[in-house]
């Protein structure tokens, strides 16, 4: 899956949880109220299932999931693409 395809899938997933029409790729998902603790669990499951990455204990750093760009960069690193 390309980075652009991942971005579309991630935006669609987040859009199923909340209104992301005004969300930029660098916007803070937590500070902006787009993701809360309940949605975070869903986001982690989505990232693992949709993008085929296994999250290790050290991956549970909020910086990896703070924005759409951060998630995409994290997935690329985990897949050895970055």
Give the pLDDT confidence of 31-72 residue by residue, as tens digits. 988 888 888 899 999 999 999 999 999 999 999 999 999 999
> Cα angle at 39 between 43 and 29, to 5 degrees?
80
Count of domains forming the chain: 1
Average pLDDT over residues 1-27: 92
CATH number of the domain that 12 lies in? 1.10.1200.10
pLDDT at 82 over 90: no
pTM score, whole prediction: 0.92
* Confidence at 1, pLDDT banded by 50, 70, 90: confident
pLDDT at 14 over 90: yes
């Amino acid at each position: 899956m390309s980075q652009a395809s991942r971005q579309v899938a991630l935006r669609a997933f987040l859009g199923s949880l909340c209104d992301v029409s005004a969300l930029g790729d660098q916007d803070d998902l937590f500070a902006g109220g787009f993701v809360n603790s309940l949605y975070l669990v869903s986001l982690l499951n989505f990232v693992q299932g949709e993008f085929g990455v296994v999250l290790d204990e050290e991956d549970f750093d909020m910086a990896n999931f703070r924005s759409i760009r951060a998630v995409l960069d994290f997935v690329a690193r985990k897949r050895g693409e970055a």
